[in-house]
Amino acid sequence: MRPTPGPGPGPRAPQAVLAAVLAAVLVLASALLSGCARPAGSVAPGAGPGEAAAQSARSAKGQTHTAQPYRHWGLTAPLPAPPSPPARRLRLPGGTPLPVVHRVPTRDKVVFLTYDDGAEKDPRFVDMVRELRLPVSMFLTDSVVGPGYGHFARLRSVGASLQNHTLDHAALRGLPYGGQRAEICGQQNKLRARFGIRPRLFRPPYGTYDSTTLRAAADCGITAVVLWRAAMEGDGGLTYAHGPGRLRAGDIVSVPSGEPAGLTLKERTTRLLREVQGRGLTVGRLEDYI
Ligand SMILES: [Zn+2]
């Protein structure tokens, strides 16, 4: 809507023309505000995925930054949509009693973004996940999340999945069965009480585990232990546990909690996405594959 100066379509008093122009400016301003200055984390905590999708569909109409959200989040190109996931989840090698996965055996040009602990609760990260439709997996530790579960309810409502990373972030290897089971089943119970979910995936703190961990995790309803091949450091650089020093199809990337003075989760995610794009890859949903 662009007000044109000069003779209008009919005889109108100058005040009426002025009022019309002002009204048009106000409409334009409110349209811009709803697109660019949306309050952080504005999806209501109780909103389900349907409502989140409806909100992004509504805001995608005719607003520059939501039409091209990648620019808003520091990317120079849109993130390609991931290929259709496998019809059924992959049969993983090994696995007695549980498979332990460092990377996903797929040729699909996808990597998987996993976030650990749940220390950072930046509402802009919720916006980023929503606008870029990032299928991220959050491995949560109860004692780290503390009273901050509402943030993860918002993340879940915009498409993130929530998985198990123990009650108290204990290094499990060597602990007796009872202690390991309490750490894992205890967090299953917390997540079920908070969100009504039964996580299938478990990441042991520090990536350290033993055969007792696998037995306890299986007994708590876990179907796979998820480690990683690539990890993001506090400065935004990636390190690789083994194999080539670059991202490949099927890689699982771990993004631990950062230092308080370091890059924010949003900034580290932007760096990670640039690296993903630079390798001709995109982000897949881990739970579709394992
Ligand atoms: Zn951790």
Each residue of 130-182: pLDDT tens digit? Answer: 999 999 999 999 999 999 999 999 999 999 999 999 999 999 999 999 999 99
Q: How far is the centre of ligand 1, averaged over its atoms, from the C-alpha of 42 (Å)? A: 28
Q: Residue 32 above 50 pLDDT?
A: no
User: What total number of domains does the chain contain?
Assistant: 2
Q: Does 105 share its domain with 165?
A: yes
Mean pLDDT, the chain, integer? 81
Q: How far is the centre of ligand 1, averaged over its atoms, from the C-alpha of 140 (Å)? A: 8
Residue 6 lies in a domain: no
Residue 100 lies in a domain: yes
In this structure, the number of other CB atoms found within 10 A of the CB of residue 50 comes to 9
Q: How far is the centre of ligand 1, averaged over its atoms, from the C-alpha of 240 (Å)? A: 17
> What CATH number should be reported for the domain holding residue 148?
3.20.20.370
Residue 8 lies in a domain: no
pLDDT, tens only, 222-241: 999 999 999 998 788 999 99
Q: How far is the centre of ligand 1, averaged over its atoms, from the C-alpha of 258 (Å)? A: 11
Residue 9 lies in a domain: no
Residue 2 lies in a domain: no
Q: Does 150 share its domain with 283?
A: yes
Q: How far is the centre of ligand 1, averaged over its atoms, from the C-alpha of 60 (Å)? A: 36
Q: Which two tokens stand for residue 248?
A: 């490949």
Rounded to an integer, what distance in angstroms lies between the CA atom of residue 59 and that of residue 30? 13
**Average pLDDT of span 62-81:** 77
Q: Does 235 share its domain with 283?
A: yes
Q: Does 51 share its domain with 106?
A: no
Q: How far is the centre of ligand 1, averaged over its atoms, from the C-alpha of 77 (Å)? A: 31
Nearest CA to 282 out of 110, 78, 128 is that of: 110
Q: How far is the centre of ligand 1, averaged over its atoms, from the C-alpha of 133 (Å)? A: 24
> Which pLDDT does position 15 carry in this prediction?
52
> For residue 66, what pLDDT band results from cuts at 50, 70 and 90?
low
Rounded to an integer, what distance in angstroms lies between the CA atom of residue 65 and that of residue 51? 20
Q: How far is the centre of ligand 1, averaged over its atoms, from the C-alpha of 158 (Å)? A: 23
Rounded to an integer, what distance in angstroms lies between the CA atom of residue 118 and that of residue 143? 9
pLDDT, tens only, 182-201: 999 999 999 999 999 999 99
Q: How far is the centre of ligand 1, averaged over its atoms, from the C-alpha of 266 (Å)? A: 18
Residue 3 lies in a domain: no
Whether pTM > 0.85 for this model: the answer is no
Q: How far is the centre of ligand 1, averaged over its atoms, from the C-alpha of 180 (Å)? A: 15
Q: How far is the centre of ligand 1, averaged over its atoms, from the C-alpha of 195 (Å)? A: 21
Interacting residues of 155 by C-beta distance below 8 A, sequence separation 6+: 125, 126, 129, 136, 138, 162
> Which pLDDT does position 162 carry in this prediction?
98
Q: Does 21 share its domain with 114?
A: no
Backbone φ, ψ for residue 35 (5° rounding): -85, -40
Q: How far is the centre of ligand 1, averaged over its atoms, from the C-alpha of 9 (Å)? A: 67
> For residue 276, what pLDDT band results from cuts at 50, 70 and 90?
very high
Residue 72 lies in a domain: no
Instruction: Say which residue the tokens 């007994």 belong to.
Output: 219
Q: Does 188 share its domain with 239?
A: yes
Q: Does 194 share its domain with 263?
A: yes
Residue 4 lies in a domain: no
Rounded to an integer, what distance in angstroms lies between the CA atom of residue 70 and that of residue 1? 26
Q: Does 137 share its domain with 281?
A: yes
- Exposed, middle or buried by CB within 10 Å (0-12, 13-18, 19+), for 169? middle
Q: How far is the centre of ligand 1, averaged over its atoms, from the C-alpha of 50 (Å)? A: 31
Lowest-pLDDT choice from 47-61, 74-88, 96-110, 221-235 = 47-61
> Which pLDDT does position 96 carry in this prediction?
76
Q: Does 190 share its domain with 99?
A: yes
Interacting residues of 29 by C-beta distance below 8 A, sequence separation 6+: none
Q: Residue 16 above 50 pLDDT?
A: no
Expressed as residue numbers, the domain containing 51 is: 16-33+45-67
Q: Does 59 share its domain with 190?
A: no
Q: Does 129 share its domain with 51?
A: no
pLDDT, tens only, 104-127: 999 999 999 999 999 999 999 999
Q: How far is the centre of ligand 1, averaged over its atoms, from the C-alpha of 139 (Å)? A: 8
Q: Does 144 share its domain with 199?
A: yes
